[in-house]
Amino acid sequence: MEKLISLKIDGKEVKAREGITVLEAAKEMGIEIPTLCYHEKLKPYGACRICSVEVERGGRTQVVASCGYPVEEGIKVKTRSAKIDKIRRTIIELIAPSLSDGGVVGKVRELADEYGADTSRFMSRFKATPTRCILCGQCVRYCSEVVGANAIGFVGRGIERRVVFFPERASRFCPTCHECYDVCPTGKIAAETDGGIFPKFSIDDFLSGKM
């Protein structure tokens, strides 16, 4: 029989199976923690930090990403607090400018409204071209972990980081797959490929970072 772990989430006693994460435990009891980079078919990644929660363990409280934090005996989890709300609000505000070309819509819009984020707070300071990509990596990881095609990946580092298709592999796998269209939380991939047959490779676009 699986071992059960007792913990508290938002004041409620919970018994959770050993090995699952706080995010999963919360979900099972109907507490929704927002996520942007989490996908149930993929390994926890911990990039968006929207799922941050406060965990009290041995008298010490720390902020952790619930998607990767395993349930532990006796911990107390707070999925909402002034601190957590500020983190989520600020993250939405920071990410909003990258979405500005298509408007802040969909999930990010819903979260912005829920947490009172001012999506234009950093808009004027955002000098890069809005890409509509929040670098959640779901397409990259899905393509690698689920599809096994590895046709899409990250290049660059820091603020230069972006997602690209690798032409050699993309031309082989992408035309019949398109699974990343649905995975992408901002709809960037589907929009850019116009719903049509992928790939429409242009080496110029590729090198200039448009792809």
Partner 1 sequence: MPRINSPTELEKLREEIKLKREPGKPCITISSGTCGHARGSEEVIAAFEKEIKSQGLEEEIDIKITGCLGFCQREPIVLIHPEEICYLEVKPEDAAEIVQSVKEKKIIERLLYTDPKTGEKIKHDSDIPFYKSQQRNILGSNKWIDSRSIEDYLYIGGYSALSKALSQMTPDQVLEEIKKANLRGRGGGGFPTGRKWEETKNAPGEPKYVIVNCDEGDPGAYMDRSLMEGNPHSVIEGLIIGAYAIGSHEGFVYVRQEYPLAVENLNIALKQAEEYGFLGENILNSGFDFRIKVHRGAGAFVSGESSALMTAIEGKVGEPRMKYVHMSQRGYKEKPSCLNNVETWATVPFIINKGSDWFNSIGTEGSKGTKIFSLVGKVNNTGLVEVPMGMTLRQIIYDIGGGIPKGRKFKGVQTGGPSGGIIPEQYLDTPIDFDELTQIGSMMGSGGMIVMDEDTCMVDMARYFINFCCEESCGKCIPCREGLRMLLEILTDVCEGKGKEEELQTLEDIAEVMKDASLCALGTTAANPVLTTLRYFRDEYEAHIKDKRCPAKVCKNLITYYIDPEKCQACMICLRNCPTGAIQGGKNLVHWIEQDKCIKCGICYQVCPERFNAVEKLSGEPVPAPVPGREVTRKKE
Using CB under 8 A as the criterion, which residues of the chain lie in contact with partner 1 when the complex forms? 44, 46-50, 52, 63-65, 68-70, 83, 86-87, 90-91, 94-95, 98, 122, 125-128, 134-135, 137, 154, 156-161
Closest CB to partner 1 among residues 70, 209: 70
Closest CB to partner 1 among residues 8, 178: 8
Structure token pair of residue 134: 């929040």
Closest CB to partner 1 among residues 14, 198: 14
CB of 94 to partner 1, least distance (A): 4
- How many whole angstroms separate alpha carbon 211 and alpha carbon 202? 9
**Closest Cα partner for 48 from 103, 106, 88, 101?**
88
Can you tell me whether residue 163 is helix, strand or coil?
strand
Closest CB to partner 1 among residues 65, 193: 65
Structure token pair of residue 37: 């980079």
CB of 194 to partner 1, least distance (A): 27
The b-or-e profile of 15-52 (16+ CB within 10 A means b, else e) is ebeeeebbbbbbbeeebebbbbbbbeebebbbbbbbbb
- CA-based radius of gyration for the chain: 19
Q: How many CA atoms lie within 13 A of 86 on its CB side?
A: 5
CB of 146 to partner 1, least distance (A): 18
CB of 32 to partner 1, least distance (A): 19
How many C-beta neighbours within 10 Å does residue 63 have?
15
CB of 124 to partner 1, least distance (A): 9
Closest CB to partner 1 among residues 122, 206: 122
